[in-house]
Structure 1
């Protein structure tokens, strides 16, 4: 393994090499490994060593959007160490992977647009060096996997995935961003919608599933967005016909939209624009909003210059609607630029 010299501390500095036990993980699991330190040409006092999960997030700026590298969870590995000249230390760690951590890989394929890594930070006498960056591959929870599989089986075609800075209204969300997995509409729904954006917000009990529909405009009506919010428990992964359930959700959204917009794009009588009934629990029910009411973007100024083994699965990317849409990204081409210091 390549050992990165801690360049911030000059010639003869220590080197660091972080090794993950398994870079494949899932939300809610522990990501384990060890930080290997090798002393340089002189003794040093190490204030702390931390590891943090980092990813690339799209941020809306005042004039135009930009990408920022965001650290969203960190764990201290060690502190107050005296590292002697040439000394070798192996420091084990375990990082709890937050439940809301976005999915980066599915059935052995990488979701185009997603990047995730574990970065090691070493502080010596108040100076900090971000000494090592290792790729992390986050696989879906069982419910997420079943829903994604259902979209593919229904004929939706994967368009891309990204992380948006902000929060989904009406959902208890811990991280400062949410993931959008985008699909082109399947043929049987193409008369009413153009695209669907899928968002998961998970916790230890289950997850909220948010669908944003880009509506197709008619002769006298413009296109509109609407949202459906649903909930699923982790225990329900194998107890639901997910293809049928997703079909129900999409058709509910189409019916709701048609009921609220009649005539020349006007809401139905008694239903004000932006109508949003409270979300009843259970499958097949949702809270609806229109024109993006459920997703609130947070605008920020730019800062600075810038499970054990996971099986590949038996269903190929083509069956999931990912054919031709999933390619490996280079991980953080400029990981030291456009960085925001957000933590969980």
Structure 2
């Protein structure tokens, strides 16, 4: 999407900005490129800076309830202080390096329901900041993330929901103040597993996989959650049977449940990978994800709402900035 907007902070007759993305599709860790085109107004104007920010919507738990807020989580400077003369046309190229932990918004070319991502252009003069419209950005999974998502689908899990949760995951190094949850409905192939919540936390070398299993209780026992954490290498994406690996992760959780209710006390270890859980977030929400026809997956796949509608209450209770 291309937008051209008169800078409201500078009043009638002020300059306009037109931000163009070379390609709105990207992946975590890859660059997003384009140019910011500025056109001078009736008078010379000294601009303090031009900055681009990645903006998304996050679920926040506070006061005993949950609410969603929108904010900026990554900023890239495009230009410092300069004078834009009357009628001048100026094109400024940019490159935004996507954080490795950037959440996935699109799978198989389909927007995940509940996921929003935009690139916002901020033009500032002294004592005034104009935060322009948003260019939608599509973040596709890394190869290893895509293989693991495919594995869940092949094992019969149905995508249910996807969202972002404000907070930290216990035992996992994060650079962003939120994490993505991708939730699947259980499948009869794994009795007792009601839902699975999947979180990816990527870095340049590896991806941490955090799984939370919501388990159904029997007639005389209550349900409970169990957790698993695993670390995989990007280099294993094309050389591993991920359906077999994911099956092992899930069956390990099923075995834990049987051991727990057999009175052996607690859960066995996680095979040297360690275990952890999502800290400081609600137990249920994960969001709804669109799967690809390539796997023949049906159900739970709904196209996301328009990004303009999703960003209506930009700012929320965080004042619009999550920080880097």
User: What TM-score, normalized by structure 1, do the two folds share?
Assistant: 0.86
CA contact 1:17–1:132 (8 Å) conserved in 2: no
For 1:153-232, list aligned pairs within 5 A: 153-189=154-190, 191-232=191-232
Measure, in 1, the Cα distance between the counterparts of 2:311 and 2:105. Answer: 17
Q: Runs of at least 4 residues of structure 1 off by over 6 A?
A: none
In the alignment, what sits opposite 1:105?
A: 106
In the alignment, what sits opposite 2:254?
A: 254
Does 2:278 correspond to 1:295? yes
User: What TM-score, normalized by structure 2, do the two folds share?
Assistant: 0.91
Tell me how far 1:110 sits from its aligned partner: 1.2
In the alignment, what sits opposite 2:304?
A: 328
CA contact 1:36–1:91 (8 Å) conserved in 2: yes
Measure, in 1, the Cα distance between the counterparts of 2:296 and 2:211. Answer: 17
Measure, in 2, the Cα distance between the counterparts of 1:321 and 1:80. Answer: 51
| Structure 2 unaligned spans of 5+ | 283-290
1:69 partner SS: strand
Tell me how far 1:5 sits from its aligned partner: 1.2
Instruction: Count how many residue pairs are aligned between Structure 1 and Structure 2.
Output: 311
Shift in alpha-carbon separation, 1:296–1:316, aligned structure 2, 3 A: closer
Measure, in 2, the Cα distance between the counterparts of 1:279 and 1:95. Answer: 38
Tell me how far 1:323 sits from its aligned partner: 4.2
Does 2:82 correspond to 1:81? yes
Shift in alpha-carbon separation, 1:100–1:34, aligned structure 2, 3 A: same
1:204 partner SS: coil
1:32 partner SS: strand
Q: Deviations over 1:106-160 (max 9, x none)?
A: 1111111111011110101231110131000000001000000111111111101
For 1:1-344, list aligned pairs within 5 A: 1-189=2-190, 191-262=191-262, 268-269=264-265, 271=266, 277=269, 280=272, 286-289=273-276, 294-297=277-280, 316-317=292-293, 319=295, 321=297, 323-331=299-307, 332-338=310-316, 339-344=319-324
Shift in alpha-carbon separation, 1:108–1:59, aligned structure 2, 3 A: same
Measure, in 2, the Cα distance between the counterparts of 1:288 and 1:9. Answer: 53
Shift in alpha-carbon separation, 1:288–1:218, aligned structure 2, 3 A: farther
CA contact 2:229–2:270 (8 Å) conserved in 1: no
Tell me how far 1:326 sits from its aligned partner: 3.0
Q: Deviations over 1:69-125 (max 9, x none)?
A: 121111100011101111111000101100000011111111111110111101012
Shift in alpha-carbon separation, 1:63–1:216, aligned structure 2, 3 A: closer
Tell me how far 1:277 sits from its aligned partner: 4.6
CA contact 1:53–1:118 (8 Å) conserved in 2: yes
Shift in alpha-carbon separation, 1:276–1:174, aligned structure 2, 3 A: farther
Measure, in 1, the Cα distance between the counterparts of 2:226 and 2:15. Answer: 54
Shift in alpha-carbon separation, 1:335–1:3, aligned structure 2, 3 A: farther
Larger deviation: 241-250 or 1-10?
A: 1-10
